[in-house]
Homo-oligomer: A and B are copies of this chain.
Amino acid sequence: MSIQGNHPTITLLISCPDQPGIVATISSFIFEHHGNIVESDQHSTNHHEGTFFMRISFSEEGFALTRSALLTAFQPIAERFQMQWSVHYSRQRKRVAIFVSKLDHCLTDLLWRWKSGELRMDIECIISNHPALESQAALFGLPYHHFPMHKETRAADQSRVLDFLAGKVDFLILARYMQILEPFFVNAYPNQIINIHHSFLPAFVGANPYERAFDRGVKLIGATAHYVTANLDEGPIIAQNVIHCNHRDSVEDLIRKGRDVERLVLAEAIRVHTEDRVLTFGNKTIVF
């Protein structure tokens, strides 16, 4: 929805043990402080003794509390319902670093969408283990940082990237970045690293999914955007899609068709992430 783009909103993301009164309490709190709810969605894993999830957005204009006052005033409610919660202001765009290797189709697509205003985020920089795509970054006036990666020194190499990014960004996008991130790196950005995998996971986990899809003779290929966890290709799935293929498609054709799916799926995942629409629950996502 484009609503948030036009009018600044404040969004609460909440999860807690399910019990009666949560919605009434939250919506009364917002009303009492002169917030007008513009979007609200909730989900319960089951009726009783389940977990309750909520995303509720209200207009910032007219709302009586400053950010810090809001944090203070909501705290008792959060404690009463044992909430995990976060507050997001639509005017405060998330800062991102995009990681790439040599393939440029996802990067090009993201930069074009970003420039056209489709993705609400500030691109701080582009990070790569190759110098190949530097000119792409230059076209859009974006800093490009080449951090070589070597098998033997991978931990130290990634440590340098981590240090470099400290305090600069809110989340990371792996736009066909062909490196496996170390656990210490992943843990620094929990559910804040979005990867695009070029298969409909859990099919074809790991390397060369198009070649393996060709060998298996599948009739559709796909792409999966997911949060990165310590387990390769096992993180919470944000978005997935597929496209049909047939015996006439060579591996090169699958790669060509797959590029279109990858781009759409990655852009969709970034859109919902930057609009604070994603909650995670164990290894799964709730996308409001």
Chain A residues proximal to chain B, CB less than 8 Å: 1-3, 5-7, 18-25, 27-28, 30-32, 34-44, 46-47, 59, 104-105, 108, 112, 116, 118, 139, 200-204, 216-220, 222, 236-242, 246-250, 252-253, 256, 260, 264, 283-287
Number of identical protomers: 4
Contact B40 A20 (CB under 8 A): no
Q: Which residues of B contact A283 (CB under 8 A)?
A: 216-217
Contact B20 A34 (CB under 8 A): yes
Q: Which residues of B contact A139 (CB under 8 A)?
A: 139
Contact A286 B247 (CB under 8 A): yes
A242-B239 contact in complex given A2-B250, A59-B47, C-beta closer than 8 Å = no
The DSSP consensus for interface residues of chain A is: mixed
CB distance from A221 to the nearest CB of B (A): 10
* Alpha-carbon gap, A139 to B39, bound state (A): 41
A218-B246 contact in complex given A31-B20, A47-B7, C-beta closer than 8 Å = no
Contact B237 A217 (CB under 8 A): yes
Contact A37 B23 (CB under 8 A): yes
Q: Which residues of B contact A201 (CB under 8 A)?
A: 203, 216, 218
Q: List 12 A-B contacts (CB under 8 A).
A: A2-B250, A19-B36, A23-B23, A23-B40, A27-B28, A39-B42, A40-B40, A202-B204, A219-B239, A220-B222, A222-B242, A247-B287
List 17 additional contacts besides A23-B23, A24-B27, A39-B42; criterion CB under 8 Å: A1-B248, A2-B256, A3-B46, A19-B36, A20-B31, A20-B34, A23-B31, A23-B37, A23-B40, A24-B24, A24-B31, A27-B28, A118-B256, A201-B203, A202-B216, A220-B241, A247-B286
CB distance from A222 to the nearest CB of B (A): 8
CB-CB nearest in chain B for A29: B24
Contact A237 B219 (CB under 8 A): yes
Contact B2 A253 (CB under 8 A): yes
* Alpha-carbon gap, A25 to B22, bound state (A): 13
Q: Which residues of B contact A23 (CB under 8 A)?
A: 23, 27, 31, 37, 40
Q: Which residues of B contact A22 (CB under 8 A)?
A: 37
Q: Which residues of B contact A285 (CB under 8 A)?
A: 217, 247
Contact A37 B42 (CB under 8 A): yes
Contact A253 B1 (CB under 8 A): yes
* Alpha-carbon gap, A218 to B249, bound state (A): 24
* Alpha-carbon gap, A21 to B24, bound state (A): 11
* Alpha-carbon gap, A106 to B23, bound state (A): 41
